[in-house]
Amino acid sequence: MKSWVFIGLLISILCSGAYYYYTTTQDTIRSYIEENSSLKYNNDTLVDVNEKNIQTITDLEQQQQRIREDYQILQREFSEIRSNNNLLREKLSEHELDYLAYSKPDLIESIINNGSKNASRCFEILTGSPLTEKELNAKTEKQFNSECPWLWPGNDSP
């Protein structure tokens, strides 16, 4: 009879152990399911954020390319302005204006007045004023305007 009690006790211990194992395993499975559902939410969120980041990077790269193109255009325009300044400097250095102003003030006054008039017309053209008939019929840059020949419509430069 002792052996039957021992076997019964052993079976009840094994059943208790199996029950304990089953309940803890079920709890573990539930916790994994909960973690995976939050991980899936986090994963979806991370995928959305990653797509936004990729789009932002693409936009920034496009903006950077536009900035480079604008910079190159500005560099060309500054180069053109520098060459025009050098042309003006050469033009002015060909004459001894102080000596001429002292010896022939009327001539210098006329030259300066005409140059100022032409320079003012350059500003008018640059700000969108329509060309006059004389400017439209000009055959050369100098006939167009001696102060800003680069604005001549027949000129190939941009």
- 73-115 pLDDT, tens per residue? 999 999 988 988 888 788 777 777 777 778 888 888 888 888 8
What CA–CA distance (Å, rounded) separates 146 from 121?
A: 11
In a domain, 43, yes or no: no
Whether residue 15 lies inside any domain: the answer is no
Please indicate, yes or no, if residue 148 is contained in any of the structural domains: yes
Task: Confirm whether 49 is domain-assigned.
Answer: no
Residue 6: inside a domain: no
Q: List the domain range (segments joined by +) for residue 116.
A: 104-158
Specify the pLDDT at position 138.
85
Which one, of 94, 79, 95, lies nearest residue 150 by Cα? 79
Report the pLDDT value the prediction gives residue 151, as an integer from 0 to 100.
80
Extract long-range pairs of 53-61: CB within 8 Å, 24+ residues apart. Answer: none
What residues contact residue 119 under an 8 Å CB cut-off, 6+ apart?
147, 148
Which residues of the chain are under the pLDDT cut of 50?
A: 157-158
Please state the pTM of the whole predicted model. 0.44
CA 73 to mean position of chain CA atoms: 13
C-alpha neighbours within 13 Å on the C-beta side of residue 86: 6
Q: State how many domains the chain has.
A: 1
pLDDT of residue 78: 92
